[in-house]
Amino acid sequence: MKRSLLFVLALFALLPSMAFSQSTTQLPGVSVNFGQGTNLVDTIEVLILFTVLTMAPAIVILCTSFTRIIIVLSFMRQALGTQNLPPNQLLIGFAMFLSMFVMMPTGKLIFNNAIQPYMEKKIDTTQALSVLEVGLRSFMEKHVRKSDIGLFYEVTGETSPANIKEVPIHYLIPAFIISELKTAFQIGFLLYIPFLVLDMVVASVLMAMGMMMLPPMLVSLPFKLLLFVLVDGWQLVTGSILRSFN
């Protein structure tokens, strides 16, 4: 009985300390502060800026010269028949630097009129995005086809404007993409012709010699590479791509 009584007394003595320890080991609270030191308009501008940055890869790929360049380079690799040579990383990097060369005047315009004044806090986010849109429009308007713009007005049933400056951006961008795809495939077709003729000649020679089991592509590949090196093919292809933007 004495031992039981001592155990009960000790338990009652430890209850306050146990309750205190439980109260001190609670999870941290979360406090939310609304409207103190932050302007809602500035928050929306930051949200818009992050949205534009998220869409930056799509803008670089679709609203610049990158689309045409990478497609032409891919056609060039397929026409040579070298499969994965040059590798995709090299072609994409080369296309990026060529795009930077082509877009340099537009990039200078955007940097001088949008990025630099925005960093110096001379203009707000909305004005910077407007200047960015004007810079990209000036490039796309030079290379878009009127028939491609008319396609979207025909689908929607709206009247097409008399001036290309009045075309909304959501009409101009897909029309520009279609125009770039068409131009890239035209250049790719012209690049394919000499190599196709060489394949046909090699296949005819192999047929005449009775070597039907030997793949013509395997025999024509060294001749393609030799022809491409002798005519300085990379310089010709790069020059044709750059001249197509003049």
Integer Cα distance of 90 and 88 in angstroms: 5
pLDDT at 42: 59
Q: Is the pLDDT of residue 10 over 50?
A: no
| Least trusted range by pLDDT, from 91-95, 98-102, 166-170 | 166-170
User: What are the residue ranges spanned by the domains of the chain?
Assistant: 40-190
Q: Is the pLDDT of residue 29 over 60?
A: no
Q: What is the mean pLDDT of residues 10-29?
A: 47
pTM of the model: 0.72
| Least trusted range by pLDDT, from 30-44, 90-104, 124-138 | 30-44
Backbone angles phi, psi at 65, to 5 degrees: -80, 0
Cβ-contact 109, 135 below 8 angstroms: yes
Integer Cα distance of 74 and 84 in angstroms: 10
Q: Is the pLDDT of residue 15 over 50?
A: no
Q: How confident is the model at residue 20 (pLDDT cuts 50, 70, 90)?
A: very low
Cβ-contact 66, 181 below 8 angstroms: no
Q: Is the pLDDT of residue 6 over 50?
A: no
Q: How confident is the model at residue 5 (pLDDT cuts 50, 70, 90)?
A: very low
The residues, any chain, with a CB within 8 Å of residue 231's CB and separated by 6 or more, are none
Q: What is the mean pLDDT of residues 71-90?
A: 86
Q: How confident is the model at residue 69 (pLDDT cuts 50, 70, 90)?
A: very high
Q: How confident is the model at residue 22 (pLDDT cuts 50, 70, 90)?
A: very low
pLDDT at 70: 92
Question: HSE (CB half, 13 Å, CA atoms) of 103?
Answer: 25
Q: What is the mean pLDDT of residues 44-57?
A: 72
Amino acid letter, residue 132: L
Integer Cα distance of 34 and 85 in angstroms: 57
Mean pLDDT of all residues in the chain? Answer: 78
Q: Other CB atoms closer than 10 Å to residue 72's CB: what's the count?
A: 24
Cβ-contact 180, 67 below 8 angstroms: yes
Tokens representing 113 are: 């009129």
Q: Is the pLDDT of residue 25 over 70?
A: no
Q: What is the mean pLDDT of residues 168-179?
A: 88
